[in-house]
Structure 1
């Protein structure tokens, strides 16, 4: 074959490879964009459906907000009508919903019937305590749960593995308020290491007041993370790529970090996202037990006193946090395992 033809053939081959590579790259980008768009649309649809349920559930709950505002008195029809108009309760349910959702989009959840103040102001006074409590509990869950799961997986079939399994099962079965009472009896009453009541002042004092509540809130979830971590890592240990890495002479820490834990992290992340809502909801019991002034205890008080705007706001915040965190987890998973975005993941 003449040299010119050989050169031309080589050039065409290079161009073909570049074109093929470009098509693969554009195809991957399109799949990724479609994946992200689908998750965002799902987020918006879920929040819209949740807002409908949260708002209209008020109309099936017994109790009249207007009579609650005039409690302790024998209100006349004129007084009830005036209060009803003042709080917009005289409008149709659809109008009330449109006004409410419009305010929510601007950070306005209405006025509290109990505190006679903007719901946003009431929540801002309570929200920092709950966020700090949940954040500290999340740290405990991550550190203790991952550590226990990794140790159990590395020692699978031995005494340590069985001990961690039994302990995690027991912890998962104990209600958080029982754990709270045990922690108070041991660390607050007997040892006197931590305070047992109140939120404390911002800073180190607040941290000391939140240690026991965060442990009470997080220990049951530690058990769940430990079991998921152990199960996911055990599944990866029998995969072919791990056996190949081991046969190539890689050290055990390298195999565990690069080939086992990295591939096992996806289900752990998924469960962690679900735990966010669990922490926010469970915080109400813990806050009541330890006398913390967070949104959990506020929710209990508002339900008891029929303060519908505050109840709706707190429930909506929990739903937004749950759906948003799970969407973020969904978006992070393709970065860990690109097969998810490509739709080629196999189990």
Structure 2
């Protein structure tokens, strides 16, 4: 019951966050220079035509009234109507969000698969050569821009070795798996240093605990002590770090999707910015905000399920 109350409380606190996001998204978009009506009609449009388009798009209404209409549409699952594509933003997002979700999930899996073995190895050999190498080498991935790292992976694994496609997302599950490896690896390599350092620090702290010393004194093997006892408890504190960084990578997918020509909502948002398609930018930004809030909520709930002290606090 206590766990359910905690999860419900966290869900309630997400509501004002999303409401504040709607305010920021709507009013920040309206501060961007440029007239969507004039952009749609072209440079040769007459003032009368621009005025008529303003009325058609509802841009001649007071800003507060536009915001209330925007909020009302959101509550009904309507993200607006695209000026450029002449289509529902909701349908555009539905057609592209799968590629973004593939990228986010695959990046998280790769980051965990790379970070956990490295952190365990470094912590179990604290101060040794392996520990120093593992702490230093991954930092290069943290300092590399996503677009540069993605291009390097394309040159090596796609063009030179021919192991993966240069760009695109494929037409079926096999094509999706092949097309998502390099983009996901690009994002994962930038997250690995943070996760390695966090988990390594937690592992070192746990390995110095009294119950680990007792387990070793009972004759339990070193591998079992590290994996079954130390890693399980050290991972609890690293879940928050992982969740925060997954929320961060949700927004960082824009550049990666562009580099690898993935048909995700990040690419849709960039196209919307260039086309001054305000409803698309607003709609995709709100989708990103919901994804970030959902990831943070899932992180808190997962952390609480593994550590009862969180609910007690």
Match 2:35 to one of 55, 59, 64: 64
Mapped to 1, the partners of 2:142 and 2:255 lie a distance apart of: 16
**Match in the other structure for 1:49:** 20
Contact between 1:266 and 1:336, CA under 8 Å: does it hold in 2? yes
Query: Any idea what the Cα deviations from partners look like across 1:317-346, whole Å, max 9, x if unmatched?
Result: 111111121112112222211111112xxx
What runs of 5+ residues in structure 2 fail to find an aligned partner? none
User: What's the secondary structure of 1:58's corresponding residue?
Assistant: helix
**Superposition deviation, residue 33 in structure 1:** 5.6
Contact between 1:198 and 1:209, CA under 8 Å: does it hold in 2? yes
Match 2:106 to one of 136, 156, 166: 136
Mapped to 1, the partners of 2:263 and 2:10 lie a distance apart of: 35
Contact between 1:200 and 1:206, CA under 8 Å: does it hold in 2? yes
Contact between 2:250 and 2:292, CA under 8 Å: does it hold in 1? no
Q: TM-score, normalised by structure 1?
A: 0.85
Mapped to 2, the partners of 1:150 and 1:231 lie a distance apart of: 10
Mapped to 1, the partners of 2:9 and 2:177 lie a distance apart of: 40
**Match in the other structure for 1:192:** 162
Does residue 203 in structure 1 map to residue 168 in structure 2?
no
Match 2:11 to one of 35, 40, 45: 40
Mapped to 2, the partners of 1:40 and 1:292 lie a distance apart of: 32
Match 2:61 to one of 74, 77, 91: 91
Mapped to 2, the partners of 1:128 and 1:165 lie a distance apart of: 34
Superposition RMSD in Å: 1.8
Contact between 2:100 and 2:253, CA under 8 Å: does it hold in 1? yes
**Match in the other structure for 1:336:** 306
Mapped to 2, the partners of 1:339 and 1:131 lie a distance apart of: 32
The correspondence of residues 194-273 of structure 1 with structure 2, limited to 5 A, is 194-273=164-243
Report how many aligned residue pairs link the two structures: 313
User: What's the secondary structure of 1:192's corresponding residue?
Assistant: coil
User: What's the secondary structure of 2:193's corresponding residue?
Assistant: helix
Does residue 106 in structure 1 map to residue 80 in structure 2?
no
**Superposition deviation, residue 248 in structure 1:** 3.0
- Closer, same or farther in 2 for the Cα pair 1:101/1:301, shift >3 Å? same
Highest RCO, 1 vs 2 (Cα 8 Å, sep ≥ 6):
2
Q: TM-score, normalised by structure 2?
A: 0.94
**Match in the other structure for 1:308:** 278
Query: Any idea what the Cα deviations from partners look like across 1:83-125, whole Å, max 9, x if unmatched?
Result: 2222222222222122212212222101111111100111122
What runs of 5+ residues in structure 1 fail to find an aligned partner? 1-28
Mark the structure with the bigger radius of gyration. 1
User: What's the secondary structure of 1:218's corresponding residue?
Assistant: helix
Deviates more, 1:34-43 or 1:79-88: 34-43
**Match in the other structure for 2:133:** 163
Q: Which runs of 4+ in 1 moved over 4 A?
A: none
**Superposition deviation, residue 208 in structure 1:** 1.3
Contact between 2:18 and 2:290, CA under 8 Å: does it hold in 1? yes
**Match in the other structure for 1:118:** 88
